[in-house]
Structure 1
């Protein structure tokens, strides 16, 4: 069994390096299809709370940040797999250049006809799926690889498009072909091995994009100019600054006694910049704990 695992790890590394040569950023995965490396910010003791720090997406420089560790650098990939000798697969990050990969996951485990649902959507919205990379899953499902334009941020979703159809977009990953899991091996569908991911049809792309957000509402008058300024500070964040700005603004809000009133406006502002609501709430809760307030 140990020999089989070592062979699976060696094969996974080889497949990951090959994918990276084609411009696909990868991370090692365990047999459960989850990132193989444990977060460096988790406490080693289950009963010890995590530190009150803003979410880290790899800024600390240590591995263990899931899809945020994804890279095309061959030396770095070898380091990640060396740190996770139990890895038997690899994940391919979506939403990153040059392909800006979008994964359409057609699931059959739920008893739904996901391929049929996709065909119905295609007929209703007048699009066709072009020839593209297709990866067969051990459960009988399939992953369709498509590409998105540089200005489109496709969110992850489960069943929003139709029952059984999950979407892997920015911040998500696809299990790469050649990965071995507890349920079997992922493999490229015959005839698609030499294809490159095809552009997502515009009609389908419109279905995948989040609905346009309404203009950000004005902060409640009770928080005053100080609160307005903190919200605007978060709204002005660029990628790479979003968590840091939100954490700083939330700390200042709690220190000035307006933290509770600003929780919703700050959350909305953070989501407007690209964070998920869950990430925003977690960051604000960390700020509350850091400043001695109950989240």
Structure 2
């Protein structure tokens, strides 16, 4: 388990400022990899539609900035931050993150699955910035075209492959979490994010689902609720956040929010914290209201 002190926070700020200097919008993260600043609207029932228009910090990835003074102000407001997040989908890089998870059960090999997709769809992954996660997984950084919105997804491409696009963020290298430190793979830190191959970009941008006409079925999301109820101490917030993200990605997050909140409270999570976590998931998976700046 990592030890967090003032030096950890200072290093996180230094790494965040360096990323911002290279045009990457950043926010402070806590040791659980969630945005360090709580929503100023956390006492309101349900997810807040505000994306930072109120002028106060605490809107997750929507606070992300490259302005050094603004970065320092965000970290000053969150002195407990141990890392930083990099907003995806924003100019100038329009970053797309390919997260290759490590499956502890050994049933899924995400790296092999990505290679299989490359062979099947005839694309080659170019050398690019690669970040090694504490679990042994990898984040591949790619840049996308400014006129294409890549949505966030989990396991849609293949088991163990998550995608971070518009409205999402990646944990930046140099960040320290409860499980360890994110580090650049040697030799990749000086590379720019490589352009996303066109065939892969096509896989990442599925046709939009038709709006309306899809009512929420009472049984929909019961697996996510059971997943939250099975959480042990130390994983309650993480499980709730994961389940809420999946619910919002599939279009029934608002309908399931109350049931998820009740399930989290039953595991011992305070209700305000549960609601704040669900609101963070809603912000992560909901497209931005305006194009990337």
Compute the TM-score of the two structures, normalised by the length of structure 1: 0.70
Q: Does 1:142 align with 2:134?
A: no
Of 143, 151, 156, the match for 2:152: 156
Of 98, 116, 119, the match for 1:120: 116
Of 75, 84, 95, the match for 2:78: 84
- Point out the more displaced range, 51-60 or 73-82: 51-60
Aligned to 2:277: none
Q: Does 1:27 align with 2:38?
A: no
Equivalent residues of 1:109, 1:139 under 8 A apart: no
Question: d(CA) in 2 for partners of 1:4 and 1:213?
Answer: 43
Equivalent residues of 1:132, 1:198 under 8 A apart: yes
The count of corresponding residues between Structure 1 and Structure 2 is 220
1:5 Cα shift? 1.4
Equivalent residues of 1:63, 1:80 under 8 A apart: yes
Q: Does 1:64 align with 2:42?
A: no
Question: d(CA) in 1 for partners of 2:25 and 2:96?
Answer: 13
Instruction: Please give the secondary structure, in 2, of the residue aligned with 1:32.
Output: coil
Instruction: Please give the secondary structure, in 2, of the residue aligned with 1:143.
Output: strand
Of 111, 122, 125, the match for 1:129: 125
Question: d(CA) in 1 for partners of 2:110 and 2:192?
Answer: 23
Q: CA RMSD in A?
A: 2.5
Instruction: Please give the secondary structure, in 1, of the residue aligned with 2:154.
Output: strand
**1:189-208 residue pairs with structure 2 within 5 A?**
189-208=185-204
Equivalent residues of 1:132, 1:197 under 8 A apart: yes
CA deviations over 1:129-166 (Å, ceiling 9, x no partner): 00100000000000000011011100000000000000
1:52 Cα shift? 7.5
Question: d(CA) in 2 for partners of 1:207 and 1:140?
Answer: 25
Aligned to 1:231: none
* TM-aligned CA distance change 1:212 to 1:138, over 3 Å: same
1:211 Cα shift? 1.5
Question: d(CA) in 2 for partners of 1:98 and 1:53?
Answer: 29
* TM-aligned CA distance change 1:217 to 1:187, over 3 Å: closer
CA deviations over 1:235-270 (Å, ceiling 9, x no partner): xxxxxxxxxxxxxxxxxxxxxxxxxxxxxxxxxxxx
Question: d(CA) in 2 for partners of 1:79 and 1:198?
Answer: 31
Aligned to 2:97: 103
Equivalent residues of 1:55, 1:279 under 8 A apart: no
Question: d(CA) in 1 for partners of 2:189 and 2:113?
Answer: 25
Aligned to 2:216: none
Gaps (5+ residues) in structure 1?
A: 44-49, 219-274, 283-295
Tell which has more relative contact order, 1 or 2 (C-alpha 8 A, sep 6+). 2
Which stretches of structure 1, 4 residues or more, deviate above 4 A after TM superposition?
Answer: 51-54, 278-282
Gaps (5+ residues) in structure 2?
A: 214-248, 257-293
Equivalent residues of 2:142, 2:195 under 8 A apart: yes
Q: Does 1:37 align with 2:37?
A: yes
Question: d(CA) in 1 for partners of 2:85 and 2:77?
Answer: 16
Structure number with bigger Rg? 1
Question: d(CA) in 1 for partners of 2:212 and 2:155?
Answer: 30
1:193 Cα shift? 1.1
Question: d(CA) in 2 for partners of 1:38 and 1:18?
Answer: 24
